[in-house]
Amino acid sequence: MSEIRFPLPDVGEGLTEAEIVQWHVAPGDRISLDQVFVEIETAKSLVELPSAFEGVVAELLVAEGATVDVGTPILVIQTDAAGLASGTPGGGAGAGAVAAPAQPAPPASTAPPVSTPVQASAAVAAPTVAASADEGGGAVLVGHGSSGPAATRRRRHPTPDGAHGHLAAPAPTPPAPPAPTRSSGPATGSAATSAAAAVTTRPAARVPVIAKPPIRKLAKDLGVDLSRVAPTGPIGDITRDDVIREASQASVFRNIQTPERPEGREERIPVKGVRKVIANAMVQSAFQAPHVSVFVDVDATRTMEYLKRLKASPDYAGVRISPLLIMAKAMIWAVRRNPTVNAQWTDSEIVVKHYVNLGIAAATPRGLIVPNVKEAQAMTMVELATALEQLTLTAREGKTQPAEMQGGTITITNIGVFGMDTGTPILNPGEVAIVALGTIKQKPWVVDGEVRPRFVTTIGASFDHRVVDGDVASRFLADVASIIEEPALLLE
């Protein structure tokens, strides 16, 4: 046996330190290749680290909650020295890479482990391990499969009764149980009757839940129990809106719970990780960029009608549709008409960008982050809706990667989801414009000289006055408002 001391890796973007959030192993546990053994919190995101070695955990060198520098040993693993090779993997993993001990080939029915994007990015920086070439499929690097690039979707965990059983092809009928002895009738008839009864009564074993696979995935991501959701679909199926409504209702109930008053008179929260990065960025933005803000009230009735039509369209089946989607399209359209709002200030020049990496400010349990949709200007409505949904779910799970939060050009903050009418947003550092979308609700509105109930919202925006003059800021926000008032303008 030999001992390997696993150092804290740089998981990307020049990481210098990280906090040990939670250990998933304990001394004495056996650890396998690519097994997630610890969660760390960097200045950017929560990252799961996969093991680059197989063996037995000998010692945990760092306690949970401690912050350590990159390169500091955090784990000791005892492994079989006889199985270690001196060379590097055939893919050129670099000097110092260690080969894993050869293991018997797994059964053909055993699927290879699937790496999540977080595991893959962490494994690139971690010590690299190559499986023996005799195992079939060639050498395998940590976080990468031998048959192609790392998977980009989360692993699906099978359920005992089959999560999608009602959508799958009918399974072969199992052998019928022995029929009870009867005094009359042929034996074959009894068996056929028993088999038919088994097939007929199988659905009665549980309450059927009718939902498409994307809806089931959304429910899983939001922590919604589908058996508790009231379906509103045309065939009694659960729709996306049903899941969102259930998740929102649960969130409201969680938010209105009043905790007991703490016993201590004060609580001291260390400033570190994401909170420290947020604080530095906000101070830098607020005191280095001269902010100017403008606001406008908008009749969003046609947008709400347009969203209703999109939800009924087969082209948008399984896609979440919300006012944020129209707002995103409106901003992309307005940027094309007012390109200087999609720029960056430097001490020597203004860099106007002719692409849109659209940032979405997301409030997560770990703090405010601003991931962005890359090349949003080239996306169709369906593609943009899908990208926004994936971005939101990833942020809520705390799985947003540092690269997803870099390179933004302009940002939306959707404060309407919290019931707020408007606000004065602070610029995301490096950008010169940010737009706040307020809540959309019915208010009295004058239409053709008459007061009518209309869906109304307030849009606010802040700009870097070094780059964006008042007239450009006003024209840009007016263009955004015009799309919210009449989304048909997007067809131009």
Is 465 a catalytic site residue?
yes
List strand residue ranges (DSSP E) for 105-227, in order: 129-130
Strands 410-413, 358-364: pairing is parallel
DSSP state of 203: G
Q: Which of 144, 291, 354, 465 is catalytic?
A: 465
Report the phi/psi class of residue 22: left, alpha or beta, with left for phi > 0 and alpha for psi in -120 to 50: beta
Question: Which two structure tokens, joined as six digits, stand for 113?
Answer: 């482990």
- β-partners of residue 36 are 50
Question: Which two structure tokens, joined as six digits, stand for 446?
Answer: 């004058």
Q: Quickly tell me which residue has 């790496």 as its tokens.
A: 115
Q: How far is the C-alpha of 421 from the C-alpha of 299, rounded, in Å?
A: 13
CB neighbour list of residue 75: distance below 8 Å, 6 or more residues apart = 5, 6, 25, 37, 38, 57, 59, 60, 61
Chain CA centroid to CA 21, Å: 19
- β-partners of residue 462 are 293, 434
Q: What type of residue sits at position 246?
A: E
Dihedral (Cα; 195, 199, 201, 205), 10-degree rounding: 120
Q: How far is the C-alpha of 388 from the C-alpha of 56, rounded, in Å?
A: 42
Q: How far is the C-alpha of 129 from the C-alpha of 360, rounded, in Å?
A: 37
Catalytic residues: 465
